[in-house]
Amino acid sequence: MVSGAIAVWMRSDKKKITNAYNKTRLYACPILESKNVLVNIQNPGQTNAFVLKLQNTKTAQDKGSYSEGFFPSGFLPNLKFVIYIPISYIQLLRACFIYIVINSNLTIMSTLNVKMSETDQNIRKYFQLGFSNKKILAVLAHFDGIIISHSTLKRKLKSIGLFQRKKHSNLLDVACFILRQLDVSGSLHGYRWMHLKCKHSGFNIPRDTVYFIMKLLDPKGIRQYLCPGPNFVWHVDSYDKLKPFGIAINGCIDGYSRCVIWLEAATTNSNPRVIANYYINSVRKKGGCPKRIRSDLGTENGYIADMQKFLRRDHGDTFSGERSFLYGKSTHNQRIEWFWGLLRKEMGQCFMDFFAEFGNDLHDLYCGDFLDKNLIQFCFLKIIQADLDDAQGIWITHVLQSKNAVTGGGRRPILMYTLPQFAEDHICPANENEVTICEEQTLPKTLTCADETVFQLCTLFMEENNLSFPQDSNQANDLYIRLREWIRLGLDLL
């Protein structure tokens, strides 16, 4: 039985190590004896061996090349065996020494910490924080005053043994770490947060792998959206990123298919009568109302809640009446909240930057007052609505990227919503007279600016100068500047 301190090292003898690897055995050779000893580990997974590569060490071709200078002070006298560890072909080209101390059961007892260079330590630290190579270079230069090339960084990462897409950590070790985290606050983490925790703890593991491990260890903790079919639940919410400039957006999306029910730009998304008008128009168009509606606690959803409960009061199913409308946190309204993130990336950010440019010190074309907001509404509202219609058309016809076919992976929202073979349609019939009664309580959105006086002034200016409504953002930009100068000049003369 092997006992005592052990020095583990990698040989450049590829054939010897390859044979050892194929036989899943470790060859041991006593230093002070000539006879070789074969050590057979029955369950290598329980050894918990921690391997630390040492740089700038001499390469030993055989046991005769060892000398006392290779080992820490006081370590050599306890040395009894040298074990040849099977490793990959690439590692075989980089022979180096590794020291560990094990007991008679081949279980790790302690590891000798080898001092790395300051640069290597910083690189390891930033890598474990999840930084990309580009960010590691920037942080090294800014905070540590270390400037190296990208190729040098890649070489150092390779020499330290750090890789983004290979050399992943042992799955059993990662699973044990996640299991320990789940016993405490980790039970509240999503898989993305848990993946960052794994990275910060030194594990190199893909995010998808963390997801599947958490799904196995804590299936109830992995939140997965499930909906039985189209029109079972509609998600309603408002988008306020353009509201500082007078443009208010409101939308609704089907929970099952992710098909957009409505996507409207207007001068307000806080008037409950306007939002209710979107709902009633969709009920007429679909031939009924959804089984349930989910929204946040905003007051703008009050009319929709009352109308949904009214139209569903006599249907007699589990979710009829009061249960047909759900108030909740925005985090629970995940379908529409996710769609807002996509909308900002695809078009919203463009208009946010466009309008923000008006207000910078160089142009000074927007101060956020009543007049400027109404002018932006007059010039840009129809253009933004056209872009929303275009985004909606592209979204409902694109192929969903989810790998899970149950949640719509590989399908198109418009087909999932309309074709009966995918799932049962949960649309609830609505009485036409009752829909008309509800419609009388709604208010259609304003298609231009909110203030009637500003609208008349803008219309007068366009008639006098023989101008037409803009067809794109550049034309709207020119019209906005001319209207602003003309109206403010008139106000100054009063």
* Predicted TM-score (pTM) of this structure: 0.61
Specify whether the backbone of 466 is left (phi greater than 0), alpha (psi in -120 to 50) or beta: left
Ordered strands of the 233-239 beta sheet? 260-266, 248-254, 233-239, 292-295, 325-327
Phi, psi of 460 (to 5 degrees): -60, -45
Query: Is residue 234 within 8 Å of residue 250, measured between CB atoms?
Result: no
More confident residue, 31 or 482: 482
- What are the beta bridge partners of residue 82? 7, 29
Which of residues 147 and 95 earns the better pLDDT score?
147
Look up residue 59 and give its two tokens. Answer: 């390469």
> For residues 154-175, b (16+ Cβ closer than 10 Å) or e, as one string?
eebbeebebeeeeeeeeeebbb
CATH homologous superfamily, domain 233-439: Ribonuclease H-like superfamily/Ribonuclease H (3.30.420.10)
Summarised one tens digit per residue, pLDDT across range 172-223 is 888 889 888 888 877 778 888 888 888 888 788 888 888 888 888 877 666 6
Please tell me the predicted confidence (pLDDT) of residue 372.
93
51, 89, 96 from 70: Cα distances, Å: 17, 24, 11
How many separate helices (H) and strands (E) can be counted in the chain?
17, 11
Residues 6+ apart with CB under 8 A from 135: 126
Two structure tokens written together for 180: 């320990």
**Alpha carbon separation from 435 to 250, 263, 271 (Å, rounded):** 21, 21, 19
Residue pLDDT, tens place only, 43-94: 333 333 323 232 233 333 333 322 222 333 333 333 333 333 333 323 332 3
Task: Identify the residue with better confidence: 115 or 443.
Answer: 443
Q: How confident is the model at residue 404 (pLDDT cuts 50, 70, 90)?
A: low
Sequence spans of domains, the chain: 5-111, 118-217, 233-439
CA distance 480 to 380: 9
- The two tokens of residue 277 are 């008008």
3-state helix, strand, coil in the chain (%, to 5): 50, 10, 40
Predicted confidence at residue 309, as pLDDT, reads 95
Mean pLDDT, all residues of the chain: 75
